């Protein structure tokens, strides 16, 4: 083969290689503008037109539009479509991309995301914790506004609330009782943001459903109770771990705990779990009794079995002015304005005479206490007056409040031994704060908690009316008050039981 022929073959081979390799390569290296689709950060493919995907989603999701009466359905919340370039990657059709994403994440509709921020509070161990944020979704802001209004009116008298909003409250007449709402506000921070709402979230379409959730913390059917003969609101509430106030909130058809129930009537007994803290500040003027004191005189000419009342006690009365703070309808703190409090009738003390003479002895006054001292039938109120019972004995939010909270006498005001006895506890605990327990030597014990200071020690004998401490807010206390408890056996010991302290008075 001559050299000329070889050269011709080589030239032909080179041309062939150029046609096979070089020309196609030049064609594929030309970049093409496309859109890359990401779902939850992961690429699911390329499409030519971003708007085509949005329109296809809206067309295919007619059922979702009908369900929520929505004008348009949008892509999932985590879907991103970003402009990109490609050389030789495959381009998917709009339908192919739709089919890839439709079963992975929910599509969205226009609506509002409402965040109710949790607030800091102290738990039972005395630790400060922050509640979880609540996130709600609605399609119409008015649904949220109406639900909030309905829920607020569950905690606040509706007529009084209307007058407060309209600035039409009347001043309390001199010598009369009454309440003026000074302020109402929600302690939690609430934000409303327009957004695309995932269709698998709970979307509140009516104010009825949302107000039910805001009040009970659930959309589940509320627990019911069928009234039996002899039932009262108070005993139905207590037997189902509700306070009277909580029962009335859950059953707004009743206006007062004294309302009558009829046999066969169905009432709601679910425990309320409000999803926000509604604070109400009230100026109150109330009528309050002034308890009378009991004076005991001793006669050594009479035997010890002798006792006679020579003057009956008469309860006095006073108009007490207070500043009261409620949270979700429950009193949290109260401060009494002693300068504005007016005594209408002074009390008259009760006077009794007791004999001290012993058979076979010369007699004498029985001075001092012993471990066998028995309490008398009369019990002394443990704080000075006037006072305010900020929380009675009973259930609060499903938990038994095993005493009564007495507020209003002021920080550092004296706390009195309610009867004769021996101090069996004088210490500090994270929930009780500074506290004292007195054994009255008849099986009954009284407890005095949240004190600012303690003035007595274990083993010390005390008499009715002795100052044993001062009012404070130590431990798990939301305001200045005395937690006064009455117990059969030592508090919280095995076999012990709490009693309503008001049964003493």
Q: What is the pLDDT of residues 295-304, one digit of tens each?
A: 889 888 888 7
What pTM value is reported for the model? Answer: 0.77
Q: What is the pLDDT of residues 461-504, one digit of tens each?
A: 999 889 999 999 999 888 899 999 999 999 999 989 999 999 88
How far is Cα 256 from Cα 75, in angstroms, rounded to an integer? Answer: 52
Q: Provide, rounded to the nearest whole percent, the portion of the chain with pLDDT above 90.
A: 58
Confirm whether 5 is domain-assigned: no
Phi and psi torsions of 91, nearest 5°: -100, 125
CATH number at residue 388: 2.70.70.10
CB 426 within 8 A of CB 446: no
Confirm whether 8 is domain-assigned: no
CATH number at residue 315: 2.20.230.10
Closest listed residue to residue 462, CA positions, set 483, 477, 476, 448: 448
CB 46 within 8 A of CB 37: yes
Confirm whether 377 is domain-assigned: yes
Does residue 380 sit in the same domain as residue 500? Answer: yes
- Pairing verdict, β 294-303 and 350-357: parallel
Closest listed residue to residue 448, CA positions, set 435, 430, 465, 461: 435
SS3 406: strand
Does residue 264 sit in the same domain as residue 198? Answer: yes
| Helix, strand, coil share (%) of the chain residues, nearest 5 | 20, 40, 40
- Is the confidence at residue 4, as pLDDT, over 90? no
How far is Cα 117 from Cα 187, in angstroms, rounded to an integer? Answer: 9
Does residue 63 sit in the same domain as residue 89? Answer: yes
Give the end of a domain, one of 367, 395, 412.
Answer: 367
Confirm whether 113 is domain-assigned: no
Complete DSSP assignment for 122-190: E-TTS-EEEPPPEEEEES-HHHHHHHHHHHHHHHS-HHHHHHHHTT-PPPPPTT--EEEEEEEEESS-E
Does residue 93 sit in the same domain as residue 146? Answer: no
Does residue 423 sit in the same domain as residue 499? Answer: yes
Does residue 238 sit in the same domain as residue 374? Answer: no
Distance in angstroms between the alpha carbons of the first and the last residue of the chain = 133
Does residue 481 sit in the same domain as residue 452? Answer: yes
- Is the confidence at residue 370, as pLDDT, over 60? no
Give the end of a domain, one of 268, 303, 324.
Answer: 268
pLDDT reported for residue 245: 87
- Is the confidence at residue 109, as pLDDT, over 80? yes
> Region 388-405: what's the mean pLDDT?
89
Q: What is the pLDDT of residues 194-214, one digit of tens each?
A: 999 999 999 999 999 999 999
> Region 306-330: what's the mean pLDDT?
92
- Is the confidence at residue 126, as pLDDT, over 70? no
CB 349 within 8 A of CB 311: yes
How far is Cα 259 from Cα 254, in angstroms, rounded to an integer? Answer: 7
How far is Cα 428 from Cα 430, in angstroms, rounded to an integer? Answer: 7
- Is the confidence at residue 5, as pLDDT, over 60? no
How far is Cα 389 from Cα 257, in angstroms, rounded to an integer? Answer: 17
> Region 137-144: what's the mean pLDDT?
95
CB 434 within 8 A of CB 412: no
Residue 377: pLDDT band with limits 50, 70, 90: low
> Region 137-163: what's the mean pLDDT?
94
Closest listed residue to residue 378, CA positions, set 482, 496, 470, 296: 296
pLDDT reported for residue 7: 61
Confirm whether 376 is domain-assigned: yes
Q: What is the pLDDT of residues 266-292, one digit of tens each?
A: 999 898 899 999 999 999 999 998 888
- Is the confidence at residue 345, as pLDDT, over 80? yes
Give the best-scoring range by mean pLDDT among 252-261, 392-401, 434-443.
434-443
How far is Cα 311 from Cα 490, in angstroms, rounded to an integer? Answer: 36
What does the block give as tokens for 40? 């939850």
pLDDT reported for residue 122: 66
Long-range contacts of 22-28 (CB under 8 A, 24+ apart): 28/87, 28/88
Does residue 377 sit in the same domain as residue 358? Answer: no
- Is the confidence at residue 365, as pLDDT, over 70? no
170 or 89, higher pLDDT: 170
Q: Which residue has the tokens 């909003």?
A: 165
Residue 125: pLDDT band with limits 50, 70, 90: low
pLDDT reported for residue 369: 39
Does residue 133 sit in the same domain as residue 88? Answer: no
CB 238 within 8 A of CB 395: yes
Closest listed residue to residue 418, CA positions, set 371, 379, 386: 379
Counting the structural domains of the chain, the total is 4
CATH number at residue 125: 3.10.350.10
Least confident span in 84-88, 97-101, 371-375, 482-486? 371-375
pLDDT reported for residue 119: 83
> Region 40-45: what's the mean pLDDT?
89
- Is the confidence at residue 9, as pLDDT, over 80? no
Does residue 257 sit in the same domain as residue 127? Answer: yes
Residue 265: pLDDT band with limits 50, 70, 90: very high
Summary mean pLDDT of the chain:
87
Q: Indicate the burial class of 111 (C-beta count within 10 angstroms; 0-12, 13-18, 19 or more).
A: buried
pLDDT reported for residue 17: 55
Give the end of a domain, one of 78, 105, 132.
Answer: 105
For residue 128, list its beta bridge partners.
122
Q: Which domain holds residue 496?
A: 368-505
Does residue 56 sit in the same domain as residue 155? Answer: no
> Region 312-336: what's the mean pLDDT?
91
SS3 241: coil
Does residue 94 sit in the same domain as residue 220? Answer: no
Confirm whether 458 is domain-assigned: yes
Least confident span in 21-30, 240-249, 395-404, 440-449? 21-30
Angle at 315 between CA 311 and CA 321, to 5 degrees: 155
Confirm whether 193 is domain-assigned: yes
371 or 426, higher pLDDT: 426
Q: Which residues contact 454 (CB under 8 A, 6 or more apart)?
A: 426, 434, 435, 436, 468, 469
- Pairing verdict, β 120-122 and 108-116: unpaired
pLDDT reported for residue 31: 78
Residue 358: pLDDT band with limits 50, 70, 90: confident
Confirm whether 111 is domain-assigned: no
Beta strands in 48-117 (DSSP E): 73-74, 79-86, 108-116
């Amino acid at each position: 083969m001559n050299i000329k022929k070889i050269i011709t073959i080589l030239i032909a081979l080179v041309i062939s290689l150029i046609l096979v390799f070089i020309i196609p390569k030049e064609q594929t290296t030309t970049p093409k503008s496309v859109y890359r689709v990401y779902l939850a950060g992961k690429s699911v493919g390329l499409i030519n037109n971003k708007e085509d995907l949005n329109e296809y989603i809206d067309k295919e999701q007619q059922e979702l539009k009908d369900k929520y009466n929505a004008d348009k359905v949008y892509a999932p919340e985590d879907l991103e479509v970003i402009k990109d370039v490609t050389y030789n990657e495959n381009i998917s059709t709009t339908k192919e991309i739709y089919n890839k994403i439709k079963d992975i994440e929910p599509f969205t509709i226009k609506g509002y995301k409402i965040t109710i921020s949790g607030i800091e509070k102290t738990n039972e161990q005395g630790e400060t914790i922050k509640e979880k944020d609540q996130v709600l979704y609605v399609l119409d802001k008015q649904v949220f506004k109406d639900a909030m209004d309905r829920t607020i009116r569950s905690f606040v008298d509706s007529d009084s609330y209307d007058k407060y909003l309209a600035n039409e409250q009347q001043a309390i007449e001199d010598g009369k009782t009454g309440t003026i709402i000074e302020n109402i506000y929600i302690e939690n921070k609430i934000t409303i943001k327009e957004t695309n709402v995932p269709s698998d979230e709970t979307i509140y379409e009516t104010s009825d459903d949302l107000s039910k959730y805001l009040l009970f913390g659930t959309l589940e059917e509320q627990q019911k109770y069928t009234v039996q003969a002899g039932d009262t609101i108070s005993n139905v509430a207590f037997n189902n771990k509700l306070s009277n106030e909580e029962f009335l909130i859950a059953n707004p058809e009743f206006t007062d705990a004294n309302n009558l129930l009829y046999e066969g009537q169905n009432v709601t007994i679910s425990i309320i779990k409000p999803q926000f803290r509604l604070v109400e500040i009230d100026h109150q003027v109330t009528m309050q009794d002034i308890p009378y004191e009991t004076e005991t005189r001793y006669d050594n000419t009479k035997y010890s079995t002798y006792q006679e009342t020579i003057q009956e006690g008469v309860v006095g009365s006073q108009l007490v002015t207070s500043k009261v703070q409620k949270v979700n309808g429950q009193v949290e703190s109260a401060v009494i304005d002693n300068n504005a409090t007016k005594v209408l009738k002074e009390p008259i003390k009760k006077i009794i005479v007791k004999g001290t003479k012993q058979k076979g002895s010369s007699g004498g006054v029985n001075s001092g206490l012993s471990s066998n001292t028995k309490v008398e039938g009369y019990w002394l109120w443990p704080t000075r007056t006037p006072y305010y019972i900020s929380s009675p004995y009973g259930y609060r939010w499903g938990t038994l409040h095993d005493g009564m909270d007495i507020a209003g006498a002021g920080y550092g005001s004296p706390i009195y031994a309610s009867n004769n006895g021996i101090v069996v506890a004088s210490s500090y605990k994270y929930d009780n704060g500074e506290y004292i327990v007195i054994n009255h030597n008849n099986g009954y014990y009284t407890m005095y908690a949240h004190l600012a200071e303690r003035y007595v020690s274990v083993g010390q004998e005390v008499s009715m009316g002795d100052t044993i401490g001062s009012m404070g807010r130590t431990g798990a206390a939301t305001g200045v008050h005395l937690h006064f408890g009455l117990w059969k056996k030592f508090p919280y010991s095995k076999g012990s039981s709490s009693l309503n302290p008001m049964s003493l008075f």
